[in-house]
Amino acid sequence: MMYYILLPDDTEEGVQYSTNVLGESSFKNFWVEQGFEIFERMVHKYPDTLDEIKIKDEKNKNYTPNQFLDVVSKLNIIR
């Protein structure tokens, strides 16, 4: 399952850009992409901005940042 991050100025059409791809989960692993590093930076340095982002999966299901963290916390993070 692929996951995407949309910042306030991003559009749905832009989710394929490397900066918008959080990563992919499969086989109990989560392979991070560039968007995950951006998300981590936001969590640690700018937590007040997390309400402004959207997280979606490849099936167009929406997640809050906390819901997404719950999903990936059960997986092995592969960098």
Q: Residues with Cβ < 8 Å from 67, sequence gap 6 or more?
A: 55
Q: How far apart are CA 36 and CA 49, in angstroms?
A: 15
Q: Is the pTM of this model over 0.85?
A: yes
Report the domain count for the chain: 1
pLDDT in tens, the chain (79 residues): 999 999 988 888 877 788 999 999 999 999 999 999 999 999 999 999 999 999 999 999 999 999 999 999 999 999 9
Spatial contact of 59 and 9, defined as CB atoms under 8 Å apart: no
- The whole-number pLDDT of residue 17 equals 87
- The whole-number pLDDT of residue 16 equals 79
**Which domain, by its residues, includes 8?**
2-78
